[in-house]
Amino acid sequence: MPNGGERGPQTERRRWIAWIAWIALPLLIACAGNDPATQIERAGSWAATTRELAIERRVGAIGRAYTADLLDAGGREVQMIQQSLKPSELPESIRSRVPIAVGRLDSVIANTGSAVRRGDVVALGMAAADANALSDTLRVLRAALVGK
Amino acid sequence: MKRILDLTLGIVTSIGGFLEAGSIITAVQAGAVFGYKLLWTIALGTLGLMLLVEQSGRLAAVTGRTVGDALRERFGINFFILPLATGLLVSFLVLASEIGGVALALQMATGISFQWWAMPVAFAGWFLLWKGTFGIVEKGSSFLGLVTIVFVVAALKLHPDWGRVGSGLLPTVPDHDGPRYWYIAVSIIGASISPYLYMFYSSGAVEDGWGTDDLNTNKATAVLGMSFGGVLSAAVLIIAALVFLPRGIQVDRYEQAGLLLPPVLGHSGFVLFLASLGIACFGATTEITLAMAYLLAQGLGWDWSENAKPKQNARFSLTYTVTILLAGVVMAAGIDPLKLTNFSMMLTAASLPVTVIPMFVLMNDEALVGEHRNRWFSNAALGALSIVTIVVLFSAVPLQILGGS
Amino acid sequence: MELRIVHDLLDKVVLDEQRRNVGRVDGVVLELRRGGAPVVSAFEIGGRVWARRLGGRVARWAVALGRRWPALGNGVTRFAMRDVRTIGITVSVKCDGRPTPALAWENWLREHVISRLPGA
């Protein structure tokens, strides 16, 4: 008759460790990914997102609440990137330019957010252009970091 | 004539019910970062699902046993406890992320945070399960789920280079960002081959009273239904490849996916995306909840039936009630929907061997399925799938470490 | 009559005379006879029964839980082999399953929880 029987404590312990590792490790790492190249790429993604949000909001294709909320979220993400960036990890050539670009992105996102809340179509257009420029800048900076 | 009607219904149900939180967002991430290069994983996942759905349907039609029944009866409690525990745990996390999907769609529509929507969504799902029958639950959300065809429309409107799309169907190795590539690949497999799907399917087959004369309909439904469903996922990937990739938009927050359709379809695109996300995830919510209750009830020998009134299956009804409300609480607590979805897709992928390999054994057991056991082709395919799932299992954890973001 | 315990009996669904699901055959009771082979005299249904089969830590937990909260353990239901009508895909017994401990929770929940909710 099938019966589990007694298992040695070592096997038991190993089994529990395997279970915990199987769950905990992926969980732990779901929040990782902090090298500079990835950070710059994510900042670039938010610049592109901001641009797209401004463009679509300007023509009324997307909702006001949606746009404002996502811009807020993006602002928080960019601020986190700003704080976690370590200039020492960046090469000389771009060491000063990256924090400046990310800092500018933070204010562009904030401006876009207030333009959305005011319903200022003109400001949205300008914000889109700013975000576009930053998106390009960040792309170049990342290429410089990775290409070397 | 009735057979054709059944078949059509089955296919429509499969299409409408195919997409959910995980398959949508993994396809978006794949297209946004790697263009068409990961299309082959969608094809692979869809193929795998097709196999498992057909076999679970055949099992139910021939033996009158569901996958849950068969796992306990054929392998005994000692083995069954493993797919039971992993199945319930993984499904619970996926369920929470589906509720998160509906809640997010409502947040994007109204500006009210998804945390406030989580419990109302859970209650709505509970209410449908409590008052509805299996047919209503399955067909209702699947018919509404046909709104997801908007993704095919948008993909076609973008006029992709079909040659390049086709080349994406061939497995390739990435030229950049290797770990991330394989990370998303594994997530797509997990999103496509969700065990709850084919466990639910076999329970449905028993609820609907399938017999051996339904086998051809089953086969056709599985093949055609899943194929068309896979086309939906592929469409999402193609749109992301053509809209997000050139703009350099990647997905760090689930809500960024809301920008997928507006550039193609304008305001209608935005509305239809929200409708698609909300309906698809709501359908998945009710299905997963039922699937979990089925697995537990069948495994332990309780009365179970969605067609019966809740009073007649007290433990079964209590199980799905507690499950869906608990999952609602998880999302109300404010867990990040994107992180949870990504994580649960990974976990699903890692737990596949536990259900796929037993199917292999079940479908070849002559005493169980008799003359309807697998032909060499199904065995070869299922065997290959089993190997893939084992490889996935051993790569899932290192991938999360290297590629997760 | 030849009965393969594991293949034919164990883990099968048990139906009572009303075709109601009573549970699954969670364990089997062997009677040791003097001068003869052991005989299957009965089978048992109960959480404690299958938990014991799992062995190891889980089994010890189940025993401890059952001791601490006897209501939760809800006892073990035993059916003698002479109460068995047929053994096939499922096991049919000649009794009414409702008063057995196996359905104690089902009955209690139906009366005190499920029926209280509207639309049950």
Tokens linked to A47: 């610049």
Please tell me the predicted confidence (pLDDT) of residue A117.
Answer: 95
Q: What does the alpha-carbon distance between residue B222 and residue B257 come to, in Å, rounded to a whole number? A: 29
Query: Touching check for A105 and chain B: CB below 8 Å?
Result: no
Q: Which residue has the tokens 């051809």?
A: B216
Counting the structural domains of chain B, the total is 1
Q: Report how far apart, in Å, the C-alpha atoms of B50 and of each of A145, B194, B221, B226, B269 are.
A: 44, 11, 9, 6, 30
Q: Is the pLDDT of residue B98 over 90?
A: yes
**Chains in contact with chain B (at least 3 beta-carbon pairs closer than 8 A):** A, C
The mean predicted confidence, pLDDT, of chain B is 92
- Tens of pLDDT along B51-85? 999 999 999 999 999 999 999 999 999 899 999 99
Domain span including residue C24: 5-116
Q: How buried is residue B360: exposed, middle or buried, by Cβ count under 10 Å (0-12/13-18/19+)?
A: middle
A29 to B262: CB separation less than 8 angstroms, yes or no: no
A–C: how many Cβ contacts below 8 A? 25
Q: Is the pLDDT of residue A7 over 70?
A: no
Three-state DSSP class for residue B35: coil
Where residue B176 sits, what CATH number does that domain have?
A: 1.20.1740.10
- Block residue for tokens 């020998």: B301
- Orientation of helix B21-34 relative to helix B178-192, angle to 10°: 150
Chain-centroid distance, C-alpha C22: 7
Task: Give phi and psi for C69, each to the nearest 5.
Answer: -120, 85
Q: What digits encode the pLDDT tens for the residues B4-55?
A: 888 888 888 888 889 999 999 999 999 999 999 999 999 999 999 999 999 9
DSSP symbol at B216: H
- CATH number, domain with residue C73: 2.30.30.240
Q: What is the pLDDT of residue B287?
A: 93
Q: Would you say the pTM of this structure is higher than 0.90? A: yes
Interface test with B, best of A39, A42, A49, A117 (most B CBs within 10 A): A49
Interface contacts (B, C; CB < 8 Å): 67
d(CA B99, CA B92): 11
B397 and A25 within 8 Å at the Cβ level: the answer is: yes
Domain count, chain C: 1
Q: What is the ipTM of this complex?
A: 0.90
Q: Which of B130, B300, B310 is nearest residue C24 as measured by Cβ atoms?
A: B300
Binned at pLDDT 50, 70 and 90, residue B155 comes out as: very high
Domain hosting residue B221, numbered range: 2-403
- Comparing CB atoms, the residue among A25, A33, A44 nearest residue B405 is A33
- When comparing pLDDT for A13 and B185, which is higher? B185
Q: What is the 3-state secondary structure (H, E, C) of B9-30?
A: HHHHHHHHCCCCHHHHHHHHHH
Find the largest Cα–Cα distance for chain C: 60
Is the Cα torsion angle B98, B27, B388, B341 positive or negative in sign? Answer: negative
In Å, how far is B202's CA from the nearest CA of chain C? 17
Task: From chain A, pick out residues whose CB is under 8 angstroms from the CB of C58.
Answer: 4
Q: Which of A26, A41, A68 sits opposite B396 (nearest CB)?
A: A26
For C56, the closest of A1, A2, A4 (CB atoms) is A4
pLDDT of residue A33: 59
- Could you tell me the domains of chain A? 36-147 (1.20.120)
